[in-house]
Structures are given as C-alpha cells and as structure tokens.
Structure 1
C-alpha cells in the first residue's frame, strides 16, 4: 500500500489537460480521465479514472467507494527531489545525477518541500512544481527536461554575480498562459510575482505587491491574453495588465477590490478563471438557483471565480475596460512585449 498512495499532505490535484492550449492538437479526450497529484515531499502520483458498468462493493480496493461506479487507479509515481518510494527520505543517486549541473544540483538538494503543481498546456506528461528556496522545478514523467530549475537567480542570467534567492522564499503557485503556452507566471510568499519564458531559468521580470503579503494564487486569464489575476493572503485581489505602461515599467497595479464578508475578512484561497463558453452557463445556473431578478447576464466580459476557506464561491464579472474584441491582435501585442523583455534581460548590448 505504501507505493499506492501519498505518505504526507497532498498539496495539489489536477486533471490532465484542464488547461489545454488553444494551439495544442495533441491532447485527446482520454486526458480528462487522468489525474496528477503532488504531496509536500515532492512525490507525484499519476491516476487513471475507470467508469464501471455497475455498482461494486470491495473492502480492499481503496480507490473505490463502497457502492460506487468510479474507480481511481494508480498508474505511476515519481519523486521530484530524488527521494525513494519508501518511508525514509533516502536520496536516489540516479535521479540526482540527472541534473548534470553543479549549481542546479546544490539548489535542488537545498529544497525540502513542494507547494504547488502545474501541468504544461501542450504536454500532459510535463509539469512544473513550486518549491522552497524561491525555485520552480520542471519535471517530466518519461524523459529529461532542461533547464530543470527556474528562478534560482534574482536577476538576468547575463549577470553572474546575481545573488541566490533567499532560502525562506517559497513558490506558492504557478500558472501557464493558455494563449502563449511557452510562458508561465509564479507567485511567492514574499509578495513577488515573476514571469518566465520556458527554456530560460531567469525571470523576464518581477512585480512586487505593495504590502508584500504572500501570494496564495495566480491565474493567467483564459479570455484575455494580457491579463493576469492574483490574490494574496489578506484577500487583496490584483489585476495585472501586461500591455499597460505600468506593467511594462515593472510597477505594481493598484488593488482592484478587497474581498470580505461583513466585518470579518473571509480569507480567499483560490482563483478560477472560466473559459468564455462556460461563463454564461455557470452564470445562468448560479442566478437561477438564487432566483435573482433584473440582472444583466448577457455580458461578454471576462469573469472569474474566487473560493473561500468557508466553502463559499463568488463569481465576478469584470468591467468593459478589461474586455477585448480582437484576441489575435492582443496575442501579437503580447508576443512583442515579451520578446522585448527577453532581449532586454538575456542579450548583452
């Protein structure tokens, strides 16, 4: 049973292909029947979902609820830190040797906990793991990937004297862009939000929130290529527009709303950015269940959901200023901005 489940706290569970890129044509419907889970010791488990034809009762199958028709089957496991599958934390020398770089080897051995998981939009067998020491690890289920460590330098790679990230810095959340899947964003517990291009370990640029509160979740919009949502531990919500002058100058955007319930703050824990086709459907269902009247539900503006510690879920619609009529044009503008940032930070002039 040890090899069939996690041995410590599970920090993330994702459905394969949930963030499928609109550019991707390689993902099949079978991906929706696959799950990937991560625990804080860096163990990644892969699960298959089997739909049974009839109710089944089993006292020994821990992946099947008594009388249930949905069975969870473990299909593989891997440890990102090179820890063996036994209860002890013995280091697997074969996994450690995969780094092939002394600096990355030292950086990897300094980590001890995993905090979040993100699956690549174009390949469900590759994923990112947010860990401590301010690093993001890139892993693959079947093969090797390079670079394996992101964010271990505070500045551009052209500056060899750049200091290492503080050991106390943790990556709480990571998210890919569905429009530009070669880019991802990471949120840290020191209030920093970093933007990366896959294949280059140093961040393109960083934003630092004014109060430096821990970022608990960050999401790239699925309707606006240039919009990123973020939320901190104090339930302050941020909207980052990558095409605005402030974002290009690496300045923080103003806080849009502070989410609270009455006089007592209800801590928010997760952001859910919905595809446009699902927004209207979810909105109709929510308004219908609450029997609200005289409410405009025909808006095409992007929306997002926020989950709270008490189980409540809010759906918010953004104003007209954050709507877009030509996504392809915005993608082209984003590519130009990100290319300029890459040249600025990675090419000597």
Structure 2
C-alpha cells in the first residue's frame, strides 16, 4: 500500500499543487511511519530499501511506457486517464485517490455556496423593463451660459450674490364677493350719484375699469361738436336780433358769414395770405401784417398767423407770432398739427400746435388771456451755405397724394403719411431760384433746457427741420435766356399725381418743369402762344383736382393760360380777360372740374365756367369799398354735396365766407367728360 501511494503521488505530482494545508492528517501518518522505520532493525531496513528500489525501477518503466503510448490520449482526456489509472492499478491491491476526492468535495462545497448565494440574491433583485429612456439629455443654454461660452473662461471670476429666491410668497384662496347694482332716476343725497352702485354693505367693493385714451378722444370730439353747436346758436340769435346780419355780397353766393377778426391784437392788420388744410378742410390759416397803429404794444413789431376753425368763427384756435414778415405759409400734409412759413429774411419756420402752453407766454388782452406761440424751429439757426439768403416766395409740403381710379377727387395717403402728419418733406423756394428740400423730424423727447447743437430749436420743442437736398432751378433754363441774368422765381406747385415733378413760375412768362430725382422729362418749359413785348410774370399756378393733368397759369399782363402737362404750349389762352390788369390769384374749383376763379389786383373776382362759356367769364364781381387782398377756395373734392364757397380777405382785416349757389358748387352730369370733349375740339 505504501508503494502504491508513492507511485500515485509521483504520477500526479505535476497535476496538483501543494495541498499541505488541506491534508494535515496525511502528514501526521507519514511522520508515524518514519518513526516506525527508525525503530526497525538494520536487516529489515535493508530489505525495505531494496523493495523501494525495485518499486522505483518498476515505476520508471511503467511511466516511460505510458508516456510513449498514451501521450495524446492523456492530453485530450486527462480526467478519463486518471480514472482508468485508478481502476487499472496493480493486481496486488485496490488504489484510492484521496486527492481527487478531496478536490471534488471542495468543488462541491464551493458550488453549493454559490448556488445558495444566488438563490438569496434573486429574492432581493427585481428586474423591470423601461419603455422610455433618453439617449441624450442636453438642456438649452441660458443667457449666462451663452455669455460664458462666447466670452471664454480665461482670466474670469464668477461672483455670486443672494437673489432672495428662497423668499416664497404664499397666497390664499377666498370666496368672491357678491356685488349688486342698483339704479335710480334721481341722484342720491350723499356721495352716491345717479347710476352709482349701492355700497351700503361695507364688505362690497366696486371695480372701476376706465379706458383713459378712449375717454380723451371722446371728450375731444364731444367738445368740438358742442363748440360748433354753441357757435351756431349764437349766430342764429344774432341774426334774429339783426346784429351783424349780412346779405350776400356776391351775386354767385346765397349766404355769407364772417370770422371774428375784431380782436384787439388783430385790429388794423391787413390779411396777407389765406391757406386751407388739405386734410381738415375746415381749418384755415390767415397771415396778418403789422398794425397801422400800435394797439397792443407787446405785439406791435410781430406778424401774426391765426389758426381758425371756420365752424367756430368767434375766435381763432391758435395764435402764432413771428418777428419777420411772412411771405407764404402752409399746413403739414397730415393732420393740421404743424404749420410752416417762409419769411422775407430767407428763413423757414415751423410751429408745433401740440405743444403745451407752459413753454409759451400768455398775454391778457381785452380781459381775456391769449397764448402767443413762438416758432418751434427756425432755419436761422442752421449755419450752413444751403440756407436761403433771400426772400422765400413759396413753401409747400411734398405729400403722397394721388388721383383715384374713378377721378372723384384728390385723396391723401394718410396711412403712409402717418397719423402725426410728420413723415414728409417740405420744399421751400426763394426768389433766386434755390429750391431746398427739408425733412421734418419729430424728436422722441423734448428738452426744456434747450439744445446746444440745434440752435434753431426752442427749449421744449420736438419738431425740427433737417436739410435734405438743394436744386438750382436756373439750371433748367437755356443759355440764351440767361444772358440778361437769371430769372426770378415766384411760385411753385407739385404735381398731385406724382410729387416728384414740380412746376415753377418765373418773371419771364415761362413755367419751368423739373424733377426732384431722376432724369429730366419733357417739356422743360411751358410757354405762351405768343411772346409778349413787355416782361411778363407768372404770378400763380393751380392744378385741376379731377384726374386730368391740367393746370392754370395767371400772369401779370392779365393773361390766363390752360396748360397740359404733356405739351409746352397752352391748350387755351385768354389774353384780355381782365382788361390787362395783373392777376393775383387763380383757383380751380374743388367741386366742379370746369369751373375756376380769378382775382386781379384791382379787387375784381371773375367766375369761369368752361362748360357754359369757354371764351369769357360767366360772372364778375367788384368790391371797391373794402378791397379784397387775397382769396381761398372752400370745399372738399371727395364730398361735392358739402358746403363750398370763397374765403375773402379784405383790406380792413375782415375775413368773409361766401357760400356758393348750388349751380356753381354742385357738379353737372358727366361734367368731366364734357370738359374733355370741349378741350379736344379747341386743340
């Protein structure tokens, strides 16, 4: 048994490592055998040595034989060879492999422990399936992260402050209070009035919802209507008492009214100019000269411009003052909230009618307080070579007006001009032929301390004029006309259908045609049918308001010319219509396309109706007691049924409204086509 144990130990010496710790009992048995060997006698030890040598030799032989024959099989199936070697031992005894048994026992114990641990862990582990999951979670960057990313993190330091985010407000929900409205037909005795809410219950409350802007607009409209009604009642009362009742002073009118110019600061002043607003047809400008006798000492050296509402004739709505003589004036193309004027000194001045009265001075005149408004802006403060150096003869807004497809009348593009009426250009022409274009600008904020850069702007003003461009009108004339010197320009009008084109009247009897931008279009000059022997001035120009590109020209020799924009010579020319007296004003009617009015310097008014007679005027009026200084036309081309008439400014300073009869104010059937047919026959 000992020899077999030794053989098996040597056979499996390479397959197993040191298992001394696992087999402590076997080591103890080997020590006892060694002790027994030492106690044996010498002869027995020699026999044992010989037996060991024989066993070793036999083992070496068996090992060599097995190695050569079973090397391949042993490599593929080592365990099988191991079992065979156990069962095929020597016939002398039974072989038992304790090492393999011990190893199997250890492996069984380890496997049982792992199985037990897995069973215990499975009770604790509960796996589940997730239906939705995010492969990438990239929240958006806030403003601070974007700033840090773009700015970089080099040489930067982040500082944190307490933002009080932990201060959380809490709200409590309560029941809504019940309110009851009570109305009565009699005002209450206490603080409640008619239409109020009965708040006898102290716990009830009233929620007031007021639209201040809508209320302001309503009050403005209501005040205007009430003022007009009061004015009409006062006029009817005065007429019933035979106070200031006037009969029609012209044969073409059936009624007359007068603006109240009998005011202390207007006494003795001559009316120099009248101009209506193109949008608010009832709004009128009147320019008054210096007084003959100083009535109000504070205003003795100032020219005055009054803003009237003809339906409220008792007093002007605004009073504007100017130190220089006013040659011309106009409203802005939008609402009548801005006024512009040209002076004899070459300055262009502007007033903003929306300004608060606190920035202007007031004056007690005749027991009534009047607000006298100084110019908001003056080009005198524009220290540049582009400013006018001589008298400004005309100022006119460059609007976006156009003729509609039906030819019913002139329409203004109010949506393009803006409700404020400040998005436009202003043209000013002086007598030397310099045409300046200004851009009207409204400042966002007024400065009560004044401006250091805008020297022409009043402290607290918000409207200013910025120079846009300049045009030398003399460049449009041929060289042969410039030999005697540049002509003098007197008036300007813009083509209503295309404000890029302008027409300028000169002192040599010609009308110059130019454009603000783009190429020059023909004809450049509009001439009379025959050249006059003496110098002739084109004193006035006016366009037709009914879709046909025609305009009237009045001259200083009494000649009236009807031109078409497409031809240089007139369609019709009347040479002796005023018996040679200079024409001061020519105005095309606003409600009838075949009718126009003429005023000469001798205070004669001529009424022309081309449908009735195209060779001479159909009516002539003469006022010699109180001479007429200027006239203006009243009416609305889009509302022919509205009242129309003539505004007459007299030498005494009075301003009258002559309401035309229906036959002169209401258009005839197919009047425009008839006029076109008559003009075609004359060509």
Q: What TM-score does the superposition give when structure 1 sets the normalisation length?
A: 0.73
Q: Which residue of 1 is the match for residue 635 of structure 2? A: 274
User: What secondary structure does 2:500 align onto?
Assistant: strand
Work out whether 1:316 is the aligned partner of 2:658.
Answer: yes
> Which aligned pairs between 1:130-149 and structure 2 lie closer than 5 A?
130-143=505-518, 144-149=520-525
Q: Which residue of 1 is the match for residue 622 of structure 2? A: 258
Q: Distance in 1 between matches of 2:667 and 2:580?
A: 34
Work out whether 1:302 is the aligned partner of 2:663.
Answer: no
User: What secondary structure does 2:536 align onto?
Assistant: coil
Shift of 1:319: 0.8
Work out whether 1:53 is the aligned partner of 2:444.
Answer: yes
The unaligned stretches of length 5 or more in structure 1 are 83-95, 155-163, 280-298, 343-349
Work out whether 1:35 is the aligned partner of 2:464.
Answer: no
Deviations 1:217-261 (A, max 9, x none): 1111121111111111122111111111x32xx234431x3346x
1:177–1:239 distance in 2 versus 1, CA, 3 Å: same
Work out whether 1:191 is the aligned partner of 2:558.
Answer: yes
Shift of 1:170: 0.4
User: What secondary structure does 2:567 align onto?
Assistant: coil
Shift of 1:13: 0.7
User: What secondary structure does 1:178 align onto?
Assistant: coil
Q: Distance in 1 between matches of 2:610 and 2:623?
A: 23
**Preserved contact between residue 302 and residue 322 of structure 1 (Cα < 8 Å):** no
> Which aligned pairs between 1:1-349 and structure 2 lie closer than 5 A?
1-17=383-399, 20-23=402-405, 28-29=416-417, 33-56=424-447, 57-82=450-475, 104-107=478-481, 111-143=486-518, 144-154=520-530, 164-207=531-574, 208-244=576-612, 246-247=613-614, 250-255=615-620, 257-259=621-623, 263-265=625-627, 267-275=628-636, 300-308=642-650, 312-325=654-667, 329-342=670-683
**Preserved contact between residue 204 and residue 341 of structure 1 (Cα < 8 Å):** yes
1:229–1:59 distance in 2 versus 1, CA, 3 Å: farther
Shift of 1:172: 0.2
1:174–1:210 distance in 2 versus 1, CA, 3 Å: closer
Q: Distance in 1 between matches of 2:532 and 2:504?
A: 16
Deviations 1:145-191 (A, max 9, x none): 2111101542xxxxxxxxx2345100000111111341110000111
Deviations 1:269-328 (A, max 9, x none): 34234325789xxxxxxxxxxxxxxxxxxx73432323456765332211122132556x
Shift of 1:53: 2.7
1:73–1:273 distance in 2 versus 1, CA, 3 Å: farther
Q: Distance in 1 between matches of 2:443 and 2:498?
A: 28
User: What secondary structure does 2:454 align onto?
Assistant: coil
**Preserved contact between residue 224 and residue 302 of structure 1 (Cα < 8 Å):** no
**Preserved contact between residue 64 and residue 72 of structure 1 (Cα < 8 Å):** no
Q: Which residue of 2 is the match for residue 294 of structure 1? A: none
Deviations 1:91-111 (A, max 9, x none): xxxxx6xx6xxxx54246555
Q: Distance in 1 between matches of 2:588 and 2:618?
A: 15
1:39–1:234 distance in 2 versus 1, CA, 3 Å: same
**Preserved contact between residue 153 and residue 165 of structure 1 (Cα < 8 Å):** no
1:172–1:62 distance in 2 versus 1, CA, 3 Å: farther
Q: What TM-score does the superposition give when structure 2 sets the normalisation length?
A: 0.39
- Pair member with larger Rg: 2
Q: Distance in 1 between matches of 2:517 and 2:633?
A: 30
User: What secondary structure does 2:616 align onto?
Assistant: coil
1:139–1:335 distance in 2 versus 1, CA, 3 Å: same
User: What secondary structure does 1:68 align onto?
Assistant: coil
**Preserved contact between residue 545 and residue 637 of structure 2 (Cα < 8 Å):** no
Q: Distance in 2 between matches of 1:219 and 1:19?
A: 19
Deviations 1:44-97 (A, max 9, x none): 111121122332322542553332121122211101103xxxxxxxxxxxxx6x
Greater fraction of residues in strand: 1
1:26–1:324 distance in 2 versus 1, CA, 3 Å: closer
1:17–1:2 distance in 2 versus 1, CA, 3 Å: same
1:314–1:150 distance in 2 versus 1, CA, 3 Å: same
Deviates more, 1:20-29 or 1:220-229: 20-29
The unaligned stretches of length 5 or more in structure 2 are 1-382
1:25–1:214 distance in 2 versus 1, CA, 3 Å: closer
**Preserved contact between residue 589 and residue 633 of structure 2 (Cα < 8 Å):** no
User: What secondary structure does 2:403 align onto?
Assistant: coil
Aligned residue pairs: how many? 287
Greater fraction of residues in helix: 2
User: What secondary structure does 2:444 align onto?
Assistant: strand
Q: Which residue of 2 is the match for residue 291 of structure 1? A: none
**Preserved contact between residue 35 and residue 47 of structure 1 (Cα < 8 Å):** yes
**Preserved contact between residue 129 and residue 138 of structure 1 (Cα < 8 Å):** yes
Question: 1 or 2 for the larger relative contact order (CA 8 Å, sep ≥6)?
Answer: 1
